[in-house]
Structure 1
């Protein structure tokens, strides 16, 4: 008999809901506080309870077929604008690209445009550039970026790295991420 579970989890700011189903169609649910001193992680605790695991028993990953997880925590943080003070590291010349955006707005001809503040608190431009095909136009200088990060990063709680065309060639972003860490 196949005893593998599929789980669907919604982790909210207050409660975590866990729905589990076995291959034979049996379903079970659990609702737990998202943060509690009684467990390290509410999603894992919910799955453990649905599988009737003894406290402290190893989690049986071989009994899990799939886990689908969603969260409203990040959405709520964005809506309430409660998040870490973040430094954006981007390609030189693109510091204002997110602020400018695509000019989409409810009233195209409004003279008094009210935009929300950006999600980042500061921007650091890195001397690097990739072409539209992902090839390196200007190599990232790790020493120069490390020095600039050392100067400004202590003012921030988090660093986000977003370089032009990095979806085609993530080498510069990955290096910048390692330097930021």
Structure 2
């Protein structure tokens, strides 16, 4: 049996459940309110402290914990409550409304009032470039021409960007060039469609990229807070929507939508 504690955590919107296995193999459970700022900063960390017999203000000693595996609804709730980061969408000129128009799906075909879903991006900037379906460059990217509009968005406080160009899954060089510009300008989150979801079909690839840009900053802040409290010792992993586990530093917004539900 391991000489360290292992933890399994379900961090929900209302309650956080913590299961700990001590070095002798015994199981221990703890349930806490997910949000209780007067008592503790983070429910998952507090649950670990409680099971280890530590005070709320105590640092977690190195060497006590082996693995921590967590499912969380942080991204799920941020999406449902529209509390993600402000997002700038950069897309091919002429396709600014492609994600809003989407596939024109109508669940109720006789509805007299069609209410379009709220978009997650705040602003759209069209980039003068064009690649054909076979990867042939029809219109070269003018990198210098991109700067003013992107710089203005950054100056206005937008700190996350989603880059979605036509057929970028086939020819990603234009996206790579614009992503380099955005990172140089200091955007904290740069989600690029050929990296996030390198698949054919603009709308699906674009929606996934926008969601990633919208949620990844919130998720990153939460993961960093938890990892900072734990220190370098424990191996921290998060459950993805697919049901698989990933290292904390690889956990992205696009993979976190169903993290909590996937873990049961």
**Global fold match (TM > 0.5):** yes
Structure having the higher strand fraction is 1
Aligned counterpart, 2:66? 64
Q: Does residue 102 in structure 1 map to residue 107 in structure 2?
A: no
Structure having the higher helix fraction is 2
Q: Secondary structure at the match of 2:90?
A: strand
Change (3 A) 1:66 1:57: closer
Distance in 1, matches of 2:179 and 2:63, equals 30
Distance in 1, matches of 2:85 and 2:105, equals 27
Deviation at 1:139?
4.9
Deviation at 1:26?
0.5
Distance in 1, matches of 2:61 and 2:179, equals 32
Q: What stretches of structure 1 of length at least 5 have no aligned partner?
A: none
Distance in 2, matches of 1:140 and 1:4, equals 55
Distance in 2, matches of 1:93 and 1:61, equals 56
Deviation at 1:125?
2.0
Change (3 A) 1:180 1:35: farther
Deviation at 1:31?
0.2
Change (3 A) 1:49 1:90: farther
Q: What stretches of structure 2 of length at least 5 have no aligned partner?
A: 188-264
Larger Rg: 1
- TM-score scaled to structure 2, two decimals? 0.52
CA deviation vs aligned residue, 1:19-53 (integer Å, no higher than 9, x gap): 22317251311304525155443332332322334
Distance in 2, matches of 1:103 and 1:61, equals 55
- TM-score scaled to structure 1, two decimals? 0.70
Higher relative contact order (CA 8 A, sep 6+): 2
CA deviation vs aligned residue, 1:62-88 (integer Å, no higher than 9, x gap): 7232322211x5444444445554332
Contact kept? 1:30, 1:50, Cα under 8 Å? no
Deviation at 1:97?
1.5
Contact kept? 1:90, 1:125, Cα under 8 Å? yes
Contact kept? 1:87, 1:160, Cα under 8 Å? yes
> Number of residue pairs matched?
176
Aligned counterpart, 1:19? 18
Distance in 2, matches of 1:87 and 1:6, equals 38
Q: Secondary structure at the match of 1:45?
A: helix
Q: CA RMSD in A?
A: 3.6
Distance in 2, matches of 1:114 and 1:147, equals 34
Aligned counterpart, 1:149? 150
Distance in 2, matches of 1:47 and 1:136, equals 55
